[in-house]
Copies of this chain bind each other. A is one copy, B any other.
Amino acid sequence: MTSVDARLRVRYAETDQMGIVYYANYLVWMEVGRVEYCRASGVRYRDMEARDGVRLAVVEAACRYHSPALYDEEVIVRTWIEEANPRMIRFAYEMTEASGGRRLATGETKHVFCGLDGKARKLPEKYRSSFGMS
């Protein structure tokens, strides 16, 4: 997997009175991208959590805002893995406006794998190849 694209449309709820998308919502979109990355890699995050009790606990997030996304625009969230091992994973994201290709934001999130109790644990073997771990 090099990268996976997810598409979404900006909701009115996501704008603020500046007339642009509120800055925290880009982190929600990163989550949308991350979930689609997992799905495209053959991992349904919902099942990983429900069946195997494995969660991705976020430990760091960062976003750089290049050009504001506007209401009703279609956005492409491109997601890829920057780094991964059985203890942690780092996703990177690029968000662009779909029709004109305007770059909206870039960012990354770092996660550790943990159990339902919130304690760190290693990612089970069966999921490792999906995340590009050798």
Contact = CB atoms under 8 A, between A and B. Distances in A.
Contacts of A11: 28, 31-32, 35
A58 B62 contact: no
Per DSSP, chain A at the interface is mixed
Q: Tell me how many chains of this kind the complex includes.
A: 4
A102 interface: no
Contact of A118 (B17, B24, B68, B109): B68
B72 A35 contact: yes
Interface in A92-110: 109
Nearest to A107: B61
Interface string A17-39: 11110111101100110010000
Interface of A: 9, 11-13, 15-20, 22-25, 27-28, 31-32, 35, 44-46, 55, 57-65, 68, 71-72, 109, 118
